A and B are shown apart, each in its own frame.
Chain A
Amino acid sequence: MSVIEVSELRKSYGGRNVVDGVSFAVDEGEIFGILGPNGAGKTTTVECVEGLRVPDAGRVRVAGLDPVADHDEVAGILGAQLQQSELQPKLTVREALELYASFYPNPADWRPLAERLGLTAKLGTRFAKLSGGQRQRLFIALALIGNPRVVVLDELTTGLDPRARRDTWQLIEDVRAGGVTVLLVTHFMEEAQRLCDRIAVIDKGRVAALDTPAGLIRRSAGATVISFTPSAPLDDHDLASLPAIASIECKDGRITLSGTDETVNAVVTLLARHRITAHQLRVLDATLDDAFLDLTDDRTKEAAA
Protein backbone atom coordinates (compact mmCIF):
# COMPACT_ATOMS: atom_id res chain seq x y z
CA MET A 1 0.00 0.00 0.00
CA SER A 2 1.32 3.44 -0.91
CA VAL A 3 1.70 5.87 1.97
CA ILE A 4 3.04 8.71 -0.16
CA GLU A 5 1.71 9.26 -3.65
CA VAL A 6 3.01 11.97 -5.92
CA SER A 7 1.69 12.17 -9.46
CA GLU A 8 2.49 14.64 -12.21
CA LEU A 9 3.66 17.20 -9.66
CA ARG A 10 4.55 20.59 -11.11
CA LYS A 11 5.86 23.74 -9.50
CA SER A 12 7.47 26.73 -11.14
CA TYR A 13 9.11 29.89 -9.84
CA GLY A 14 9.50 32.95 -12.02
CA GLY A 15 8.67 30.99 -15.17
CA ARG A 16 11.22 28.25 -14.41
CA ASN A 17 9.79 24.75 -14.00
CA VAL A 18 11.57 23.63 -10.84
CA VAL A 19 9.44 20.48 -10.62
CA ASP A 20 8.19 19.38 -14.01
CA GLY A 21 5.94 16.33 -13.80
CA VAL A 22 7.37 14.23 -10.97
CA SER A 23 5.56 10.98 -10.08
CA PHE A 24 6.40 8.29 -7.55
CA ALA A 25 4.76 6.23 -4.85
CA VAL A 26 6.29 5.15 -1.56
CA ASP A 27 5.12 1.95 0.12
CA GLU A 28 4.43 1.59 3.80
CA GLY A 29 7.62 0.79 5.73
CA GLU A 30 9.87 1.62 2.81
CA ILE A 31 12.96 3.84 2.86
CA PHE A 32 12.63 5.78 -0.36
CA GLY A 33 15.46 7.97 -1.57
CA ILE A 34 15.37 11.07 -3.71
CA LEU A 35 18.71 11.61 -5.36
CA GLY A 36 19.75 14.35 -7.72
CA PRO A 37 22.18 17.15 -8.43
CA ASN A 38 21.83 20.54 -6.71
CA GLY A 39 18.88 22.50 -8.02
CA ALA A 40 17.18 19.41 -9.47
CA GLY A 41 13.94 20.08 -7.59
CA LYS A 42 14.38 17.55 -4.76
CA THR A 43 13.65 19.91 -1.89
CA THR A 44 10.70 21.55 -3.66
CA THR A 45 9.24 18.09 -4.25
CA VAL A 46 9.44 17.07 -0.59
CA GLU A 47 8.17 20.47 0.54
CA CYS A 48 5.03 19.75 -1.46
CA VAL A 49 4.76 16.41 0.38
CA GLU A 50 5.18 18.24 3.72
CA GLY A 51 2.51 20.77 2.79
CA LEU A 52 4.92 23.71 2.99
CA ARG A 53 4.37 24.51 -0.69
CA VAL A 54 1.24 24.42 -2.78
CA PRO A 55 1.76 22.56 -6.08
CA ASP A 56 0.89 24.34 -9.33
CA ALA A 57 -0.47 21.08 -10.71
CA GLY A 58 -0.51 17.37 -9.90
CA ARG A 59 -1.59 15.35 -6.93
CA VAL A 60 0.14 14.70 -3.61
CA ARG A 61 -1.27 12.35 -0.98
CA VAL A 62 0.12 11.31 2.40
CA ALA A 63 -1.83 8.37 3.87
CA GLY A 64 -4.62 9.40 1.50
CA LEU A 65 -4.67 12.98 2.80
CA ASP A 66 -3.93 16.20 0.96
CA PRO A 67 -0.98 17.93 2.73
CA VAL A 68 -2.42 21.38 1.94
CA ALA A 69 -6.17 20.90 2.44
CA ASP A 70 -5.81 18.42 5.34
CA HIS A 71 -2.81 20.19 6.85
CA ASP A 72 -3.58 19.45 10.50
CA GLU A 73 -4.13 15.71 9.99
CA VAL A 74 -0.98 15.38 7.90
CA ALA A 75 1.07 17.38 10.43
CA GLY A 76 -0.01 14.87 13.08
CA ILE A 77 1.39 11.83 11.23
CA LEU A 78 4.35 13.33 9.36
CA GLY A 79 7.65 14.24 10.96
CA ALA A 80 10.14 16.28 9.01
CA GLN A 81 13.62 17.66 9.17
CA LEU A 82 14.21 20.73 7.04
CA GLN A 83 17.40 21.47 5.19
CA GLN A 84 17.85 24.93 6.71
CA SER A 85 16.16 25.83 9.93
CA GLU A 86 16.96 27.21 13.36
CA LEU A 87 15.35 27.40 16.76
CA GLN A 88 15.17 30.25 19.24
CA PRO A 89 18.86 30.92 20.08
CA LYS A 90 18.39 30.76 23.85
CA LEU A 91 16.17 27.66 23.87
CA THR A 92 17.95 24.67 25.40
CA VAL A 93 17.95 21.20 23.87
CA ARG A 94 15.76 19.85 26.68
CA GLU A 95 13.27 22.70 26.31
CA ALA A 96 13.09 22.19 22.56
CA LEU A 97 12.43 18.46 22.97
CA GLU A 98 9.78 19.03 25.64
CA LEU A 99 8.11 21.80 23.66
CA TYR A 100 7.88 19.85 20.42
CA ALA A 101 6.75 16.71 22.26
CA SER A 102 3.86 18.74 23.67
CA PHE A 103 2.61 19.48 20.14
CA TYR A 104 1.68 15.85 19.43
CA PRO A 105 -1.06 13.64 20.84
CA ASN A 106 1.21 10.57 21.28
CA PRO A 107 4.76 11.80 21.47
CA ALA A 108 7.79 9.56 21.81
CA ASP A 109 9.70 9.70 25.10
CA TRP A 110 12.39 12.25 24.28
CA ARG A 111 14.96 10.86 26.74
CA PRO A 112 15.85 7.65 24.86
CA LEU A 113 15.64 9.60 21.61
CA ALA A 114 18.17 12.15 22.90
CA GLU A 115 20.32 9.25 24.12
CA ARG A 116 20.26 7.57 20.69
CA LEU A 117 21.26 10.81 19.01
CA GLY A 118 24.05 11.54 21.47
CA LEU A 119 22.36 14.66 22.84
CA THR A 120 22.11 13.66 26.51
CA ALA A 121 25.22 15.62 27.50
CA LYS A 122 23.86 18.67 25.69
CA LEU A 123 20.37 18.84 27.20
CA GLY A 124 21.11 22.05 29.09
CA THR A 125 22.89 23.73 26.17
CA ARG A 126 21.23 26.57 24.30
CA PHE A 127 20.59 26.15 20.60
CA ALA A 128 22.96 29.00 19.66
CA LYS A 129 25.85 27.17 21.37
CA LEU A 130 25.35 23.85 19.55
CA SER A 131 27.71 22.78 16.76
CA GLY A 132 26.36 22.14 13.26
CA GLY A 133 26.28 18.39 13.85
CA GLN A 134 24.52 18.76 17.20
CA ARG A 135 21.87 21.01 15.65
CA GLN A 136 21.37 18.47 12.89
CA ARG A 137 20.89 15.69 15.45
CA LEU A 138 18.44 17.81 17.39
CA PHE A 139 16.37 18.38 14.25
CA ILE A 140 16.37 14.65 13.55
CA ALA A 141 15.07 14.15 17.10
CA LEU A 142 12.35 16.75 16.53
CA ALA A 143 11.34 14.99 13.29
CA LEU A 144 10.83 11.75 15.22
CA ILE A 145 9.37 13.11 18.44
CA GLY A 146 5.72 12.95 17.36
CA ASN A 147 5.91 9.19 16.70
CA PRO A 148 5.19 9.84 13.02
CA ARG A 149 4.00 7.31 10.42
CA VAL A 150 6.01 9.09 7.75
CA VAL A 151 9.35 10.83 8.19
CA VAL A 152 10.79 13.20 5.60
CA LEU A 153 14.50 13.87 6.01
CA ASP A 154 16.19 16.46 3.82
CA GLU A 155 20.00 16.17 3.73
CA LEU A 156 19.92 13.95 6.79
CA THR A 157 23.61 13.60 7.54
CA THR A 158 25.04 16.81 6.10
CA GLY A 159 27.44 18.26 8.67
CA LEU A 160 27.79 15.03 10.65
CA ASP A 161 31.15 13.35 11.19
CA PRO A 162 31.54 9.78 9.85
CA ARG A 163 30.85 8.20 13.26
CA ALA A 164 27.64 10.22 13.83
CA ARG A 165 26.62 9.55 10.23
CA ARG A 166 26.81 5.80 10.72
CA ASP A 167 24.93 6.03 14.05
CA THR A 168 22.22 8.07 12.33
CA TRP A 169 21.89 5.51 9.55
CA GLN A 170 21.44 2.81 12.16
CA LEU A 171 18.78 4.94 13.85
CA ILE A 172 16.88 5.39 10.58
CA GLU A 173 16.99 1.64 9.97
CA ASP A 174 15.62 1.06 13.48
CA VAL A 175 12.88 3.61 12.88
CA ARG A 176 11.90 1.83 9.70
CA ALA A 177 11.94 -1.51 11.49
CA GLY A 178 9.19 -0.02 13.63
CA GLY A 179 7.02 0.32 10.50
CA VAL A 180 7.69 3.98 9.78
CA THR A 181 7.95 5.07 6.14
CA VAL A 182 10.99 7.19 5.36
CA LEU A 183 11.41 9.67 2.50
CA LEU A 184 15.06 10.63 2.29
CA VAL A 185 16.56 13.43 0.22
CA THR A 186 20.29 13.02 -0.17
CA HIS A 187 23.27 13.57 -2.35
CA PHE A 188 25.45 11.04 -0.53
CA MET A 189 25.62 7.94 -2.70
CA GLU A 190 26.90 5.81 0.16
CA GLU A 191 23.92 6.85 2.25
CA ALA A 192 21.43 6.11 -0.53
CA GLN A 193 23.02 2.74 -1.28
CA ARG A 194 23.11 1.73 2.37
CA LEU A 195 19.63 2.87 3.40
CA CYS A 196 17.24 3.05 0.48
CA ASP A 197 14.98 0.28 -0.77
CA ARG A 198 14.26 2.29 -3.89
CA ILE A 199 15.59 5.53 -5.30
CA ALA A 200 14.12 8.14 -7.62
CA VAL A 201 16.86 10.01 -9.44
CA ILE A 202 15.57 13.51 -10.13
CA ASP A 203 17.24 15.71 -12.70
CA LYS A 204 15.97 19.07 -14.02
CA GLY A 205 12.62 18.64 -12.31
CA ARG A 206 11.90 15.19 -13.74
CA VAL A 207 12.34 11.61 -12.59
CA ALA A 208 15.32 10.36 -14.62
CA ALA A 209 15.13 6.83 -13.16
CA LEU A 210 13.34 4.96 -10.41
CA ASP A 211 14.72 1.64 -9.23
CA THR A 212 16.45 -0.22 -6.42
CA PRO A 213 20.08 0.83 -5.85
CA ALA A 214 21.25 -2.43 -7.46
CA GLY A 215 18.86 -1.89 -10.38
CA LEU A 216 20.20 1.60 -10.99
CA ILE A 217 23.77 0.30 -10.99
CA ARG A 218 22.92 -2.50 -13.42
CA ARG A 219 21.35 0.04 -15.77
CA SER A 220 24.41 2.19 -16.04
CA ALA A 221 26.48 1.67 -19.17
CA GLY A 222 29.75 0.59 -17.56
CA ALA A 223 28.58 -1.55 -14.69
CA THR A 224 31.84 -3.49 -14.23
CA VAL A 225 35.35 -2.16 -14.61
CA ILE A 226 38.27 -4.51 -15.42
CA SER A 227 41.84 -3.30 -15.31
CA PHE A 228 45.14 -5.15 -15.78
CA THR A 229 48.66 -4.83 -17.12
CA PRO A 230 49.20 -7.50 -19.84
CA SER A 231 52.56 -9.32 -20.05
CA ALA A 232 52.52 -8.81 -23.87
CA PRO A 233 50.71 -6.26 -26.07
CA LEU A 234 47.11 -7.04 -26.96
CA ASP A 235 45.52 -6.38 -30.30
CA ASP A 236 43.16 -3.35 -30.18
CA HIS A 237 40.76 -5.10 -32.50
CA ASP A 238 40.49 -8.09 -30.17
CA LEU A 239 39.61 -5.78 -27.31
CA ALA A 240 37.06 -3.78 -29.28
CA SER A 241 35.20 -6.92 -30.30
CA LEU A 242 34.73 -8.13 -26.71
CA PRO A 243 31.05 -8.62 -25.84
CA ALA A 244 29.13 -5.80 -24.09
CA ILE A 245 32.18 -3.56 -24.03
CA ALA A 246 31.39 0.04 -23.03
CA SER A 247 34.80 1.69 -23.03
CA ILE A 248 38.48 0.91 -23.55
CA GLU A 249 41.38 2.88 -22.18
CA CYS A 250 45.12 2.19 -22.47
CA LYS A 251 47.57 4.15 -20.41
CA ASP A 252 51.22 3.37 -19.63
CA GLY A 253 50.67 -0.25 -20.63
CA ARG A 254 47.68 -0.66 -18.34
CA ILE A 255 44.33 -1.49 -19.89
CA THR A 256 41.03 -0.43 -18.33
CA LEU A 257 37.80 -1.80 -19.75
CA SER A 258 34.23 -1.31 -18.69
CA GLY A 259 31.39 -3.66 -19.52
CA THR A 260 29.43 -6.41 -17.82
CA ASP A 261 30.14 -9.80 -16.22
CA GLU A 262 30.13 -11.24 -19.73
CA THR A 263 32.99 -8.91 -20.65
CA VAL A 264 35.00 -10.16 -17.68
CA ASN A 265 34.68 -13.79 -18.79
CA ALA A 266 35.57 -12.90 -22.37
CA VAL A 267 38.69 -11.03 -21.26
CA VAL A 268 39.84 -14.03 -19.26
CA THR A 269 39.29 -16.32 -22.27
CA LEU A 270 41.08 -13.87 -24.59
CA LEU A 271 44.12 -13.69 -22.32
CA ALA A 272 44.24 -17.48 -21.94
CA ARG A 273 44.03 -17.97 -25.71
CA HIS A 274 47.05 -15.66 -26.27
CA ARG A 275 48.87 -17.08 -23.24
CA ILE A 276 49.16 -13.59 -21.82
CA THR A 277 49.38 -13.05 -18.08
CA ALA A 278 47.38 -10.22 -16.57
CA HIS A 279 49.36 -8.49 -13.83
CA GLN A 280 47.43 -6.77 -11.07
CA LEU A 281 44.08 -7.84 -12.48
CA ARG A 282 41.26 -5.93 -10.77
CA VAL A 283 37.54 -6.32 -11.34
CA LEU A 284 35.38 -3.64 -9.74
CA ASP A 285 31.63 -3.36 -9.67
CA ALA A 286 30.35 0.06 -10.62
CA THR A 287 28.93 2.04 -7.74
CA LEU A 288 25.83 4.15 -7.41
CA ASP A 289 28.14 7.09 -8.08
CA ASP A 290 28.76 5.84 -11.63
CA ALA A 291 25.07 5.17 -12.18
CA PHE A 292 24.18 8.61 -10.86
CA LEU A 293 26.64 10.39 -13.11
CA ASP A 294 25.41 8.31 -16.04
CA LEU A 295 21.79 9.26 -15.39
CA THR A 296 22.26 12.95 -14.71
CA ASP A 297 25.12 13.96 -16.97
CA ASP A 298 24.10 15.28 -20.39
CA ARG A 299 27.34 14.30 -22.03
CA THR A 300 27.10 10.61 -21.15
CA LYS A 301 23.42 10.60 -22.09
CA GLU A 302 24.16 12.01 -25.52
CA ALA A 303 27.06 9.60 -26.00
CA ALA A 304 24.75 6.71 -25.21
CA ALA A 305 22.05 7.93 -27.61
Chain B
Amino acid sequence: MNTAVLRTEFRLFRREPGAVFWIFLFPTLLLVILGSIPSFRDADKALGGLRPVDAYTPIAVLIALIMSGVQSLPQALTGHRERGILRRMRLTPVRPSTLLSSQMVVQGTVALASALLALAVGRLAFGVRLPEQPAGYLLALLLATAAALALGSVVSALSRTTKVAGAIGSAVFFPMMFCAGVWLPVQEMPHTLARVVQLTPFGAAARALGEAAAGDWPGWAHLGVLAGWTVLLTAGAARWFRWD
Protein backbone atom coordinates (compact mmCIF):
# COMPACT_ATOMS: atom_id res chain seq x y z
CA MET B 1 0.00 0.00 0.00
CA ASN B 2 1.40 3.35 -1.09
CA THR B 3 0.32 6.03 1.40
CA ALA B 4 0.65 8.88 -1.11
CA VAL B 5 -1.82 7.16 -3.46
CA LEU B 6 -4.16 6.40 -0.56
CA ARG B 7 -4.07 9.99 0.70
CA THR B 8 -4.72 11.28 -2.81
CA GLU B 9 -7.71 8.99 -3.34
CA PHE B 10 -9.15 10.05 0.03
CA ARG B 11 -8.75 13.69 -0.90
CA LEU B 12 -10.41 13.11 -4.26
CA PHE B 13 -13.30 11.27 -2.59
CA ARG B 14 -13.96 14.31 -0.41
CA ARG B 15 -14.32 16.37 -3.59
CA GLU B 16 -17.27 14.25 -4.72
CA PRO B 17 -20.26 15.72 -2.88
CA GLY B 18 -22.61 13.14 -4.43
CA ALA B 19 -20.64 10.17 -3.14
CA VAL B 20 -20.16 11.77 0.27
CA PHE B 21 -23.92 12.37 0.59
CA TRP B 22 -25.16 8.96 -0.59
CA ILE B 23 -22.61 6.86 1.26
CA PHE B 24 -21.96 8.85 4.41
CA LEU B 25 -25.12 10.87 5.08
CA PHE B 26 -28.05 9.25 3.29
CA PRO B 27 -28.29 6.05 5.40
CA THR B 28 -28.46 8.05 8.63
CA LEU B 29 -30.85 10.56 7.06
CA LEU B 30 -33.17 7.70 6.10
CA LEU B 31 -33.01 6.38 9.65
CA VAL B 32 -33.88 9.81 11.01
CA ILE B 33 -36.86 10.13 8.65
CA LEU B 34 -38.19 6.67 9.51
CA GLY B 35 -37.54 7.20 13.22
CA SER B 36 -39.55 10.43 13.11
CA ILE B 37 -42.69 8.47 12.17
CA PRO B 38 -44.40 7.80 15.54
CA SER B 39 -45.58 4.27 14.63
CA PHE B 40 -41.97 3.28 13.85
CA ARG B 41 -41.18 3.77 17.49
CA ASP B 42 -43.80 1.25 18.73
CA ALA B 43 -42.82 -2.34 19.43
CA ASP B 44 -43.98 -4.70 16.68
CA LYS B 45 -44.83 -8.38 17.32
CA ALA B 46 -43.91 -9.34 13.75
CA LEU B 47 -40.38 -8.14 14.52
CA GLY B 48 -40.12 -10.20 17.67
CA GLY B 49 -40.92 -7.24 19.89
CA LEU B 50 -38.44 -4.87 18.20
CA ARG B 51 -39.50 -1.43 17.06
CA PRO B 52 -39.24 -0.81 13.28
CA VAL B 53 -36.60 1.85 13.97
CA ASP B 54 -34.51 -0.84 15.71
CA ALA B 55 -34.91 -3.16 12.73
CA TYR B 56 -34.00 -0.40 10.30
CA THR B 57 -30.69 0.48 11.98
CA PRO B 58 -28.79 -2.53 10.54
CA ILE B 59 -30.52 -1.85 7.22
CA ALA B 60 -29.18 1.72 7.22
CA VAL B 61 -25.72 0.26 7.81
CA LEU B 62 -26.18 -2.05 4.82
CA ILE B 63 -27.39 0.80 2.60
CA ALA B 64 -24.04 2.51 3.22
CA LEU B 65 -22.23 -0.64 2.10
CA ILE B 66 -24.40 -1.01 -1.01
CA MET B 67 -23.94 2.66 -1.95
CA SER B 68 -20.16 2.44 -1.69
CA GLY B 69 -19.66 -1.07 -3.07
CA VAL B 70 -22.18 -1.23 -5.88
CA GLN B 71 -22.60 2.44 -6.87
CA SER B 72 -19.45 4.37 -6.03
CA LEU B 73 -16.60 1.86 -6.32
CA PRO B 74 -17.36 0.60 -9.87
CA GLN B 75 -17.62 4.19 -11.11
CA ALA B 76 -14.25 5.06 -9.60
CA LEU B 77 -12.44 1.93 -10.80
CA THR B 78 -13.92 1.97 -14.29
CA GLY B 79 -13.29 5.72 -14.54
CA HIS B 80 -9.61 5.22 -13.65
CA ARG B 81 -9.31 2.61 -16.37
CA GLU B 82 -11.34 4.55 -18.95
CA ARG B 83 -9.21 7.68 -18.49
CA GLY B 84 -5.97 5.74 -18.93
CA ILE B 85 -4.89 6.48 -15.34
CA LEU B 86 -4.17 2.81 -14.65
CA ARG B 87 -2.16 2.67 -17.87
CA ARG B 88 -0.20 5.77 -16.92
CA MET B 89 0.52 4.20 -13.51
CA ARG B 90 1.99 1.14 -15.23
CA LEU B 91 4.81 3.39 -16.45
CA THR B 92 5.83 4.19 -12.87
CA PRO B 93 7.51 1.96 -10.28
CA VAL B 94 4.18 1.91 -8.39
CA ARG B 95 1.81 -0.76 -9.61
CA PRO B 96 -1.68 0.21 -10.80
CA SER B 97 -3.13 -2.36 -8.37
CA THR B 98 -2.16 0.15 -5.67
CA LEU B 99 -4.77 2.50 -7.04
CA LEU B 100 -7.43 -0.22 -6.92
CA SER B 101 -6.65 -1.27 -3.36
CA SER B 102 -6.54 2.40 -2.27
CA GLN B 103 -9.99 2.94 -3.77
CA MET B 104 -11.30 -0.07 -1.87
CA VAL B 105 -9.82 1.16 1.38
CA VAL B 106 -11.37 4.60 0.82
CA GLN B 107 -14.83 3.26 -0.04
CA GLY B 108 -14.73 0.67 2.75
CA THR B 109 -13.60 3.19 5.35
CA VAL B 110 -16.25 5.73 4.42
CA ALA B 111 -18.96 3.02 4.48
CA LEU B 112 -17.83 1.87 7.94
CA ALA B 113 -17.76 5.46 9.18
CA SER B 114 -21.28 5.87 7.83
CA ALA B 115 -22.31 2.71 9.74
CA LEU B 116 -20.89 4.19 12.94
CA LEU B 117 -22.78 7.42 12.31
CA ALA B 118 -26.05 5.51 11.84
CA LEU B 119 -25.48 3.54 15.05
CA ALA B 120 -24.62 6.68 16.99
CA VAL B 121 -27.59 8.70 15.71
CA GLY B 122 -29.91 5.71 16.24
CA ARG B 123 -28.72 5.44 19.82
CA LEU B 124 -28.84 9.16 20.63
CA ALA B 125 -32.00 10.16 18.76
CA PHE B 126 -34.19 7.09 19.05
CA GLY B 127 -32.68 5.04 21.86
CA VAL B 128 -31.76 2.17 19.55
CA ARG B 129 -29.62 -0.13 21.69
CA LEU B 130 -26.04 -0.54 20.53
CA PRO B 131 -25.18 -4.03 19.28
CA GLU B 132 -25.20 -6.32 22.30
CA GLN B 133 -22.71 -8.68 20.70
CA PRO B 134 -20.16 -6.08 19.47
CA ALA B 135 -17.47 -8.56 18.35
CA GLY B 136 -19.97 -10.58 16.32
CA TYR B 137 -21.44 -7.36 14.92
CA LEU B 138 -18.01 -6.10 13.87
CA LEU B 139 -17.13 -9.44 12.26
CA ALA B 140 -20.40 -9.47 10.30
CA LEU B 141 -19.89 -5.83 9.31
CA LEU B 142 -16.34 -6.43 8.04
CA LEU B 143 -17.39 -9.50 6.07
CA ALA B 144 -20.32 -7.60 4.56
CA THR B 145 -17.96 -4.75 3.60
CA ALA B 146 -15.60 -7.20 1.93
CA ALA B 147 -18.50 -8.78 0.01
CA ALA B 148 -19.80 -5.35 -1.08
CA LEU B 149 -16.37 -4.25 -2.35
CA ALA B 150 -15.87 -7.59 -4.14
CA LEU B 151 -19.27 -7.19 -5.80
CA GLY B 152 -18.35 -3.66 -6.91
CA SER B 153 -15.04 -4.94 -8.33
CA VAL B 154 -16.87 -7.54 -10.41
CA VAL B 155 -19.22 -4.85 -11.76
CA SER B 156 -16.17 -2.77 -12.72
CA ALA B 157 -14.42 -5.79 -14.26
CA LEU B 158 -17.44 -6.48 -16.46
CA SER B 159 -17.90 -2.83 -17.54
CA ARG B 160 -15.84 -1.39 -20.38
CA THR B 161 -17.02 2.16 -19.68
CA THR B 162 -18.38 4.17 -16.75
CA LYS B 163 -21.76 4.28 -18.54
CA VAL B 164 -21.94 0.49 -18.56
CA ALA B 165 -20.76 0.40 -14.95
CA GLY B 166 -23.56 2.80 -14.04
CA ALA B 167 -26.14 0.64 -15.81
CA ILE B 168 -24.97 -2.63 -14.25
CA GLY B 169 -24.61 -0.90 -10.88
CA SER B 170 -28.22 0.28 -11.00
CA ALA B 171 -29.46 -3.14 -12.11
CA VAL B 172 -27.69 -4.75 -9.15
CA PHE B 173 -28.56 -1.92 -6.74
CA PHE B 174 -32.33 -2.51 -6.36
CA PRO B 175 -32.21 -6.30 -5.80
CA MET B 176 -29.44 -5.73 -3.26
CA MET B 177 -31.48 -3.05 -1.46
CA PHE B 178 -34.44 -5.46 -1.43
CA CYS B 179 -32.33 -8.29 -0.01
CA ALA B 180 -30.94 -6.00 2.67
CA GLY B 181 -34.59 -5.45 3.74
CA VAL B 182 -35.04 -1.82 2.77
CA TRP B 183 -38.68 -2.35 1.76
CA LEU B 184 -39.41 -5.22 4.10
CA PRO B 185 -36.99 -6.36 6.83
CA VAL B 186 -35.84 -9.94 6.18
CA GLN B 187 -37.42 -11.10 9.48
CA GLU B 188 -40.83 -10.02 8.16
CA MET B 189 -40.51 -11.70 4.75
CA PRO B 190 -42.54 -14.86 4.04
CA HIS B 191 -40.58 -17.95 5.06
CA THR B 192 -39.63 -19.23 1.57
CA LEU B 193 -38.61 -15.77 0.35
CA ALA B 194 -36.51 -15.20 3.47
CA ARG B 195 -34.68 -18.51 2.90
CA VAL B 196 -33.72 -17.42 -0.63
CA VAL B 197 -32.83 -13.87 0.39
CA GLN B 198 -30.57 -15.18 3.16
CA LEU B 199 -28.40 -16.80 0.50
CA THR B 200 -27.57 -13.42 -1.07
CA PRO B 201 -24.72 -11.38 0.41
CA PHE B 202 -26.88 -8.59 1.79
CA GLY B 203 -29.68 -10.90 2.96
CA ALA B 204 -27.15 -12.91 4.94
CA ALA B 205 -25.55 -9.69 6.22
CA ALA B 206 -28.94 -8.36 7.34
CA ARG B 207 -29.62 -11.51 9.37
CA ALA B 208 -26.10 -11.62 10.84
CA LEU B 209 -26.24 -7.96 11.89
CA GLY B 210 -29.76 -8.41 13.29
CA GLU B 211 -28.68 -11.37 15.41
CA ALA B 212 -25.57 -9.61 16.72
CA ALA B 213 -27.59 -6.48 17.51
CA ALA B 214 -29.95 -8.61 19.59
CA GLY B 215 -27.04 -10.08 21.54
CA ASP B 216 -26.57 -13.44 19.86
CA TRP B 217 -23.45 -14.56 18.06
CA PRO B 218 -24.34 -14.24 14.33
CA GLY B 219 -25.20 -17.57 12.73
CA TRP B 220 -22.23 -19.29 11.13
CA ALA B 221 -24.40 -20.08 8.13
CA HIS B 222 -24.89 -16.33 7.48
CA LEU B 223 -21.21 -15.57 8.02
CA GLY B 224 -20.34 -18.50 5.76
CA VAL B 225 -22.58 -17.16 2.99
CA LEU B 226 -20.83 -13.76 3.26
CA ALA B 227 -17.35 -15.31 3.19
CA GLY B 228 -18.30 -17.55 0.27
CA TRP B 229 -19.60 -14.62 -1.79
CA THR B 230 -16.47 -12.59 -0.99
CA VAL B 231 -14.15 -15.37 -2.19
CA LEU B 232 -16.21 -16.08 -5.30
CA LEU B 233 -16.62 -12.42 -6.31
CA THR B 234 -12.97 -11.59 -5.63
CA ALA B 235 -11.86 -14.50 -7.81
CA GLY B 236 -14.22 -13.31 -10.57
CA ALA B 237 -12.95 -9.73 -10.36
CA ALA B 238 -9.31 -10.86 -10.42
CA ARG B 239 -10.02 -13.02 -13.47
CA TRP B 240 -12.02 -10.53 -15.52
CA PHE B 241 -10.50 -7.19 -14.57
CA ARG B 242 -8.70 -5.42 -17.43
CA TRP B 243 -6.02 -2.79 -16.90
CA ASP B 244 -6.69 -0.91 -20.15
Contacts and interface: CB of A to CB of B under 8 A. Distances in A.
Given A88-B85, A95-B11, A102-B2, 5 more contacts: A51-B90, A85-B84, A85-B85, A91-B8, A99-B8
B83 A87 contact: yes
Nearest to A127: B83
B84 A82 contact: yes
A78 interface: yes
A85 B82 CA distance: 9
B41 interface: no
A105 B12 CA distance: 25
Given A90-B12, A99-B8, A52 B87 contact: yes
Interface of A: 50-52, 72, 75-76, 78-80, 82, 84-91, 95, 98-100, 102-105, 142, 146
B92 interface: yes
Given A72-B93, A75-B93, A90-B15, A85 B8 contact: no
Contacts of A95: 8, 11
Interface in B84-98: 84-85, 87-88, 90-94
Contacts of A79: 91
B207 interface: no
A104 B92 contact: yes
B80 interface: yes
A88 B87 contact: no
Given A86-B83, A86-B84, A88-B80, A76 B5 contact: no
13 contacts: A51-B90, A72-B93, A75-B92, A82-B91, A84-B84, A85-B84, A85-B85, A86-B84, A86-B85, A88-B12, A89-B83, A91-B8, A102-B2
B88 A103 contact: no
Contact of A52 (B16, B85, B90): B90
Interface of B: 2, 4-5, 8, 11-12, 15-16, 80, 83-85, 87-88, 90-94
A82 B93 contact: no
B91 A80 contact: yes
Query: Most chain-A Cβ atoms within 10 A of its Cβ — which of B5, B12, B92?
Result: B92
Nearest to A77: B93
A185 B83 CA distance: 22
Contacts of A76: 93
Contacts of A102: 2, 4
A141 to B, nearest CB: 13
Per CB-CB distance, the 6 closest pairs between chain A and chain B, nearest first, are: A86-B83, A102-B4, A85-B84, A103-B92, A90-B15, A103-B94
Contacts of A84: 84
A282 B91 CA distance: 50
B93 A104 contact: yes
A80 B83 CA distance: 17
A272 to B, nearest CB: 62
B58 to A, nearest CB: 33
A146 B92 contact: yes
Contacts of A103: 2, 4, 92-94
Contacts of B4: 98-99, 102-103
A142 B94 CA distance: 14
A3 B90 CA distance: 21
Contacts of B92: 75, 100, 103-104, 146
A88 B85 CA distance: 7
B141 to A, nearest CB: 29
Contacts of B2: 102-103
Contacts of B8: 88, 91, 95, 99
Contacts of B16: 90
Contacts of B85: 85-88
A50 B8 CA distance: 25
Contacts of A88: 8, 12, 80, 83, 85
A54 to B, nearest CB: 12
B6 to A, nearest CB: 11
Contacts of B80: 88
Nearest to B8: A99
The residue in B5, B8, B83, B93 that gathers the most chain A C-beta atoms within 10 A of its C-beta is B93
Contacts of B12: 88, 90-91
Nearest to A142: B88
A300 to B, nearest CB: 37
Contacts of A75: 90-93
Contacts of B94: 103
A98 B4 CA distance: 9
Task: Name the residue in A78, A86, A88, A95 with the highest tally of chain B Cβ atoms < 10 Å from its Cβ.
Answer: A88
Nearest to B4: A102
Given A72-B93, A99-B5, A85 B15 contact: no
Nearest to A91: B12
Nearest to B76: A88
Contacts of B11: 95
